[in-house]
């Protein structure tokens, strides 16, 4: 009887969570023992009905066929004893018994870095996170996050741009792309990285699962970046996990008057690393300094008006009509120049009609 | 002229019913014993907020709506309907200085003259074809008058891929570019005209896109 199968049996039975598993593991060093006598768990405060369903499902053929069915839906199960299971996660206070995986968890083996933050970031916050994630990914670091809207999505998108496989930890079944608007990100991660969850496939997304999800994100990684978030937010829960599990905490400094900068700024005040960019993160974790090959971008060749608008935008984002006013140019001309700049990938238009430089000269 | 304020507050079915008249300029009503077509040629102008609270995308990021709320709100406007609207313009919040600005702006009469001149040009050009403005161009007339030079074509090709245009929006952009050229009093559509026309179509991608 393989350990893996017993662990799947425990993980897939309702009523056995990470906490209970810690007790069980401590009491039964040879875990297969309980497979043959689930009622032995009664002594360890496992309720009768849970023991009943454990007994009911203690059938090797049944479990094998369940695993086979999952496989057909391209969902894998990586137990805590499996070599692909993240090493650091194994040693947290309450590690998941196993992880359901879509994609390939074995490619998320080496350097891992977590990024968490609010679902409603500021524009600059999201842009900075995306850039840091891309640069870390270019230096071969796997970014781990939660695939939620906002900071999470920005970190995955940046990571995917950088090319190193990225890992998303969901607070629902691994077969459910939640939130639905991130389905493209979900599919890209499955192609280049892994989507994991400790919950059974089909588990709906519930708020109560999110804190537990955060412990996996921080548990997998030696370092975590808290990008933006309020004092009492999911990000602050992650920060607490990170501190309790002795992870390196980085915080993205922000405007002191902005609500979403409260958490990172107070973490900095309490001694967290200040994340000034990917280099500072890499060197603090001893991963070299910016080993990523600085992509030598071909210099932009801008014509007179393009250059003029570019220079104006360098000072800060503006709307098209503000640009027309500032450059003393007819709006029509500004509009057509902006299209050119946009197609060259120099600027992008954000909600609110704001023009933002996304590639510097 | 049909002006719909707070566009997403209309029922989806009513909005979808606009699709046929916007495209064909007529409304067909089918009943058990008859089918009637009424002419319905009009200019549609519509206004809406970016989200229920109205602050989404504002620089200070004080929107209180959830992603789902915004999604629900925007999804009242279907892609095909949006496709049939030629000009999408985003209006930023008005600042105090702008409200109290007394410096002279271009008077409406001057703008009206420019519009009249462009209209005259179009009437002249389409004489005898039964069409009197760019919006009515179809088939062969469209191919004849909405041609691009090499630079314009190259630009359009890039934009088509980068901005995910549909066949319909491609046509609409060209018609708008034709009008911009007419307003400038030029006989051919240049790359600059196309580029300007593209700016007026950026909205669908940004708000109705997938967030990337």
CA distance B10 to chain A (A): 23
Is there a contact between B195 and A335 if contact means CB atoms under 8 Å apart?
yes
CB B208, CB A181: distance < 8 Å: no
- Asked whether B179 and B134 are in contact (CB, 8 A), the reply is yes
Q: Which two tokens stand for residue A296?
A: 């030598």
Measured in angstroms, the CA of B30 and the nearest CA of chain A are apart by 39
Per-residue confidence (pLDDT) for residue A172, from 0 to 100: 93
Look at B206 and A349 and tell me if their CB atoms are within 8 Å. yes
A126 burial level (CB within 10 Å; 0-12, 13-18, 19+) = buried
Q: Which residues of B touch A349 (CB under 8 A)?
A: 202, 206
Q: Are A13 and A50 in contact (CB under 8 A)?
A: yes
Per-residue DSSP letter, A195: E
Q: Are residues B185 and B197 in contact, defined by beta-carbon separation less than 8 angstroms?
A: no
Chain B neighbors of A149, CB-CB under 8 A: 67, 211
CB pairs under 8 A between A and B: 78
Choose from A119, A255, A353 for mutation: most chain B CBs within 10 A.
A353
B 183-212 residues inside an 8 A Cβ radius of A: 184, 191-196, 198-200, 202, 206-207, 210-212
Instruction: Report the DSSP beta bridge partners of residue A195.
Output: A102, A168
Provide the 3-class DSSP secondary structure of residue A97. Answer: coil
What is the pLDDT, as a whole number, of residue A99? 95
pLDDT at B188: 87
The DSSP letter of residue A80 is T
- Residues of A engaging B, defined by a Cβ cutoff of 8 Å: 119-120, 122-123, 149, 153, 157, 179, 181-185, 317, 319-321, 332-333, 335-340, 342-343, 349-354
Chain A: nearest CA to B92, how far in angstroms?
6
- Provide CB contacts within 8 A for A352, sequence distance 6+: A319, B50, B56, B57, B58, B59, B90, B92
Q: Which of B184, B195, B200 should we substitute to test contact with A (largest number of A Cβ atoms within 10 Å)?
A: B195
pLDDT in tens, A243-281: 999 999 999 999 898 888 999 999 999 999 999 999 999
Distance of alpha carbon B203 from alpha carbon B201, whole angstroms: 6
Residues of chain B under the 50 pLDDT cut: 210-212
Per-residue pLDDT of chain A (361 residues; tens, 9 = 90+): 578 899 999 999 998 989 899 888 888 888 888 999 999 988 888 899 999 999 999 999 999 999 999 999 999 999 999 999 999 999 999 999 999 999 999 988 789 999 999 988 887 888 899 999 999 999 999 999 999 989 999 999 999 999 999 999 999 999 999 888 889 999 999 999 999 999 999 999 988 888 999 999 999 999 999 999 998 888 999 999 999 999 999 999 998 988 889 999 999 999 999 999 999 999 999 987 655 455 555 677 888 999 999 999 888 888 888 888 888 888 888 888 888 888 888 888 777 777 888 777 6
**What's this model's pTM, rounded to 2 decimal places?**
0.72
Between CA A113 and CA A111 the distance in angstroms is 7
* Residues ≥6 apart with Cβ < 8 Å to A90: A80
Q: Report pLDDT digits (tens) over A330-345.
A: 888 888 888 888 888 8
| Minimum distance, in Å, between the CA of residue B147 and any CA atom of chain A | 18
Can you tell me the distance from the alpha carbon of A342 to that of A355, in angstroms, rounded to the nearest whole number?
9
Give the DSSP per-residue string, B173-208.
HHHHHHHHHHHTT-SSB-HHHHHHHHHTT-HHHHHS
β-bridge partners, A348: A356
Strand order in the sheet with A318-319: A318-319, A354-357, A347-350
Q: Please report the pLDDT score of residue A127 as a whole number.
A: 86
Instruction: List phi, psi (to 5°) of A141.
Output: -100, 135
HSE-CB at B92 with a 13 A cutoff on CA atoms is: 20
How many CA atoms, within 13 angstroms, populate the side-chain half-sphere of residue B139?
Answer: 3
Residues of chain B in contact with residue A333, where contact means CB-CB under 8 angstroms, are 192, 196
Structure tokens that stand for B119 in this block: 């209209």
Q: Which residues pair with A102 in a beta bridge?
A: A195
Q: Scanning every residue of chain B, which has its alpha carbon at the shortest distance from the alpha carbon of A351? A: B57
CB contact under 8 A, A353 and B91: yes
Element spanning A347, H or E: strand A347-350
Give the torsion sign (CA, A129, A131, A134, A136): negative
Q: Between A120, A339, A353, which is nearest B195 by CB?
A: A339
């Amino acid at each position: 009887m393989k350990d893996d199968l017993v662990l799947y049996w425990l993980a897939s039975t309702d009523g056995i969570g990470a906490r209970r598993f810690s007790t069980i593991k401590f009491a039964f060093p040879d875990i297969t023992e309980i497979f043959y006598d689930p009622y032995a768990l009664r002594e360890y405060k496992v309720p009768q009905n849970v023991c009943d369903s454990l007994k009911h499902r203690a059938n090797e053929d049944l479990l094998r066929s369940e695993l086979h069915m999952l496989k057909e839906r391209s969902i894998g199960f990586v137990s805590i004893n499996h070599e692909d299971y993240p090493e650091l996660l194994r040693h947290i206070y309450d590690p998941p018994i196993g992880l359901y995986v879509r994609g390939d968890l074995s490619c998320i083996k080496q350097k891992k870095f977590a990024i968490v933050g609010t679902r409603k970031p500021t524009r600059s916050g999201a842009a900075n996170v995306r850039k840091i994630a891309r640069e870390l990914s270019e230096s071969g670091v796997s970014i781990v996050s939660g695939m939620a809207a906002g900071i999470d999505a920005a970190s995955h998108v940046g990571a995917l741009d950088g090319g190193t496989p990225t890992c998303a930890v969901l607070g629902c079944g691994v077969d459910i792309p939640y939130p639905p608007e991130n389905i493209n990100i979900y599919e890209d991660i499955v192609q280049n990285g892994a989507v994991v969850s400790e919950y059974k496939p089909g588990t709906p997304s519930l708020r109560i699962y999110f804190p537990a999800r955060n412990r996996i994100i921080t548990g997998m990684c030696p370092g975590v970046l808290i990008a933006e978030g309020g004092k009492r937010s999911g990000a602050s829960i992650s920060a607490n996990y990170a501190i309790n599990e002795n992870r390196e905490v980085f915080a993205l400094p922000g405007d002191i008057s902005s609500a979403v900068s409260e958490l990172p700024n107070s973490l900095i005040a309490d001694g967290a690393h200040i994340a000034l960019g990917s280099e500072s993160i890499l060197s603090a974790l001893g991963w070299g300094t910016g080993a990523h090959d600085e992509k030598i971008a071909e210099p932009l060749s801008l014509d007179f008006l393009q250059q003029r608008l570019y220079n104006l935008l360098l000072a800060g984002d503006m709307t098209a009509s503000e640009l027309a006013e500032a450059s003393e140019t007819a709006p029509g001309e500004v509009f057509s120049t902006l299209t050119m700049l946009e197609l060259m990938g120099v600027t992008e238009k954000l909600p609110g009609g704001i023009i933002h430089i996304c590639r510097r000269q | 002229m049909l002006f719909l304020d707070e566009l997403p507050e209309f029922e989806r079915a009513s909005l979808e019913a606009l699709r046929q008249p916007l495209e064909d300029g007529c409304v067909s009503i089918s009943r058990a014993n008859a089918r009637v077509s009424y002419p319905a040629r009009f200019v549609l102008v519509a206004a809406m907020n970016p989200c229920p609270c109205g602050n989404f995308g504002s620089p200070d990021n004080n929107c209180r709506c959830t992603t789902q709320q915004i999604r629900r709100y925007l999804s009242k406007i279907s892609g095909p309907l949006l496709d049939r609207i030629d000009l999408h313009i985003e209006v930023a919040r008005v600042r105090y200085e702008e409200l109290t600005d007394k410096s002279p702006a271009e008077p409406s009469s001057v703008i009206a003259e420019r519009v009249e001149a462009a209209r005259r040009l179009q009437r002249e050009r389409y004489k005898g074809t039964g069409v009197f403005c760019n919006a009515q161009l179809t088939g062969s007339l469209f191919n004849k008058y909405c041609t691009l030079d090499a630079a314009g074509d190259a630009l359009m090709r890039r934009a088509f891929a980068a901005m995910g245009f549909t066949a319909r929006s491609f046509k609409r952009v060209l018609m708008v570019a034709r009008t911009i050229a007419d307003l400038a009093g030029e006989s051919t559509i240049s790359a600059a005209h196309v580029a300007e026309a593209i700016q007026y179509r950026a909205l669908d991608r940004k708000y109705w896109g997938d967030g990337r």
